[in-house]
Amino acid sequence: MLLLAVLACLFAISLAAPAPIPARPSYRRAESLATTTVPDTTIEGDFVRPALFSRIAYCSSQAVTSWQCGEQCAAVGPNVKILQAGGDDGLIPMYFIASDPDTESVVVAHQGTNSKSILSIANDVQIALVDLNTTLFPQAGKDVQVHDGFQKTFERTADGVLSGVRDALNSTGAKKVLVTGHSLGAAVASMDAVMLKMNLDPSISLTTTIFGLPRVGNQEWADLVDSNLGTSFTHITNQNDPVPTVPPQLLGYVQPQGEVHIVSANATGAIQTVACPGTENDNCSDGNSLLDASVANHRGPYFQNISMSGSACPF
């Protein structure tokens, strides 16, 4: 089905007016760099909590703001406080800003979407690369381009996220921000993270840990993520999830660095997880075959049986 979507998309492009030749080729050949095993201590210390927050973002805004999201809320413990929530569970995907005293952080989490809609958004809707919004990214170079649909979605909540995070840092006195999200929420979170880095006081420590990230922009966008966020940026990919490989590199899209790949998992959670140096590392999701693509892998499990869905939300 995915193959068909990609073919249909390439066909549609071939019918369109000839695209202008890019100033320089942005297509980068995949690298095959040796991966390293991620220890359980890193998974438990750095990845599980962001995954739990990303999963909470799948509950309705009503369930999240009233903190009545059952097991999904209980999993992060009793001290988390929701400071702000926005979005409408529809065209404007939900996000929330929370205080997490256990990690002395402010958390920004973005709602995702299911595998079918993220594949269709990434491949069919507003697939064109457009210039980055320089109001929100004052220090970005002029060649930076991102997916039109992702940027439009990001713009609908960007102002609220920036002012909300400023208020949250102010009211809690926290010096750390965690940005997280899954799927479409990961795409928006990656844009949020660069915006926050450019607009917050440099003394604030920003960590971005996101799940099932589609390709968001061109090589210059990937470079902007790498240079602004460096090793504080991690995007976790699960087995044969096709989402991290759309839209295709053929159209100029490139993933930033920081991939961590779940090589194998069972119902209890991840069994083997590796860090993937470089970008588009062939030993990780870029090496996945479309023929083996599993849309179920997009949902999880991401460590300890964490599946990204609202199925366990009470309402």
Closest approach of ligand NAG to the CB of residue 284, in Å: 9
37 touches ligand NAG by CB under 6 A: no
155 touches ligand NAG by CB under 6 A: yes
* Catalytic residue chosen out of the listed positions 26, 54, 99, 183: 183
126 touches ligand NAG by CB under 6 A: no
Catalytic (active site) residue 241: yes
32 touches ligand NAG by CB under 6 A: yes
- With CB under 6 A, what is the number of residues at the site for ligand NAG? 18
The site string for ligand NAG over 255-294 (x = CB under 6 A, - otherwise) reads -----------xxx--x-----------x-----------
The site string for ligand NAG over 291-310 (x = CB under 6 A, - otherwise) reads --------------x-x---
Q: Please select the residue that binds ligand NAG; options are 65, 133, 199, 294, rule is CB under 6 A.
A: 133
Nearest to 39 by CA among 212, 270, 280: 270
Report yes or no: 95 and 108 within 8 Å, Cβ to Cβ: yes
Catalytic (active site) residue 32: no
* Catalytic residue chosen out of the listed positions 105, 241, 285, 286: 241
Which residues are identified as catalytic? 183, 241
